[in-house]
Amino acid sequence: MNSQQLSKVSRFSSLKGKMPKDTGIFIVMVAIALIFEIAGWYVRDQSFLLNPNRLVLIVLQVAIIGIIAVGVTQVIITTGIDLSSGSIIALTAVVAASLAQTSDSLSPMFPSLVNMPAVVPIVAGIGVGLLCGLVNGVLITRTGIPPFIATLGMMVSARGLAQYYTQGNPVSFLSDSFTSIGQGAMPVIIFLIVAVIFHIALKHTRYGKYVYAIGGNMTSAKVSGIKVNKYLVIVYTIAGGLSGLAGVVLAARVSSGQSSMGVSYELDAIAAAVIGGSSLMGGVGRITGTLIGAVILGLIKSGFTFVGVDAYVQDIIKGIIIVSAVAVDMYRNRNKR
């Protein structure tokens, strides 16, 4: 290789180093959007991107999944996994809804607690999520149970609690003050606030430094004096709290709490994090990447529906995307060794 070629390679490497780390996945997102735009004109003679109603639906879907994915990203960075997010959403949604009922309800769950201020069901729902996350963290750190098993147990238990709490019935007739947090652009605003807070926390605080250190090498983190168990409990508690927040927002959005809510949401959240660059090997992950990953999932789901792909086929494709993202992550980590 001559000096001119070496100079070109050097300039390319320098330019690549200056590009934002999420540039690649952002380009993928734009490409997917353009593919569905072209397919829309070809299949339905309509625009995919220029329909305001469709864009609003995509953004709202992304907001709920994105809130969960912010917590799941932090768990994955520590080499953990959280399978309980969807079930925690259901439990927190029915708890919040039961405390947000109005006197118009034919059979309120708590007749003496109707017309409560919106802050009561919101705090209660998030509190239940925090408690579930705390239980996950304590089980993992105090008993040595693998995160997969601990959160799998919580997934089953939380769903069961939601069904027992409501006896399988939806909880409706929610107050306007409560449902307002799920209407309009509020879910998106909440998601963006959550994303900004934890982007800063991971990038510029001791908490973030320790989380990455734990995921990079847990043994070295312990030797360096980091209280690994303490921070793992905090990470899982935060993930549970964000699932609780997502459950509250979802209940407010649909004006109802149901024990069937949140099915498979944990898989979408994990997929968003992995597609966005989080490594299941730990120590790698960014909130900005997770945000883009969530948007990609929203585009794919809405795009396939738009062009008429069967819902069952969509699930098959989603599974392939998740496996492919993990395979790419494994290949990338193998090459780094």
Residue 47 resides in a domain: no
d(CA 261, CA 120): 21
Which one is predicted more confidently, 166 or 327?
166
Q: Report pLDDT for 22.
A: 74
Q: Quick check: helix, strand or coil at residue 171?
A: strand
Tokens standing for 75? 């768990």
Check: CB of residue 261 under 8 Å from CB of residue 93. yes
For the CA atoms of 299, 305, 278, 158, what is the dihedral angle to 10 degrees? 130
Residue 17 resides in a domain: no
Q: Report pLDDT for 79.
A: 94
* pLDDT of 4 above 60: no
* pLDDT of 28 above 80: yes
Residue 21 resides in a domain: no
Residue 108 resides in a domain: yes
Residue 192 resides in a domain: yes
d(CA 261, CA 259): 6
Q: What are phi and psi of 171, to 5 degrees?
A: -105, 110
Structural domain that includes position 198: 55-336
Residue 15 resides in a domain: no
* pLDDT of 329 above 60: yes
**pLDDT band, residue 333 (cuts 50/70/90):** low
Residue 233 has a CB neighbour count (10 Å cut-off) of 21
Q: How many domains does the chain divide into?
A: 1
What pLDDT digit, counting tens, does each position of 100-134 carry? 998 777 667 777 678 889 999 999 999 999 999 99
* pLDDT of 321 above 60: yes
Check: CB of residue 151 under 8 Å from CB of residue 84. yes
Q: Identity (one letter) of the amino acid at 169?
A: N
Q: Identity (one letter) of the amino acid at 312?
A: Y
Mean pLDDT lowest among 60-74, 266-280, 291-305, 318-332: 318-332
Cα distances (angstroms) measured from residue 320 to each of 275, 313, 325: 12, 11, 8
Task: Name 127's Cβ contacts closer than 8 Å, sequence gap at least 6.
Answer: 244
What pLDDT digit, counting tens, does each position of 134-149 carry? 999 999 999 999 999 9
Beta-ladder partners of 207: none
CATH code at position 121: 1.10.3470
pTM of the model: 0.89
Q: Report pLDDT for 9.
A: 43
Q: Which helix (H) or strand (E) holds 133?
A: helix 119-143
Q: Report pLDDT for 168.
A: 86
d(CA 30, CA 32): 5
What pLDDT digit, counting tens, does each position of 242-271 carry? 999 999 999 999 999 999 999 989 999 999
Compute CA 58 distance to the chain's CA centroid, rounded to the nearest angstrom.
15
Beta-ladder partners of 96: none
Tokens standing for 221? 């983190």
Check: CB of residue 21 under 8 Å from CB of residue 289. yes
Q: Report pLDDT for 106.
A: 63
Residue 178 resides in a domain: yes
d(CA 242, CA 192): 13
Q: Report pLDDT for 216.
A: 92
Q: Report pLDDT for 75.
A: 97
Residue 78 resides in a domain: yes
Average pLDDT over residues 289-297: 92
Q: Report pLDDT for 8.
A: 45
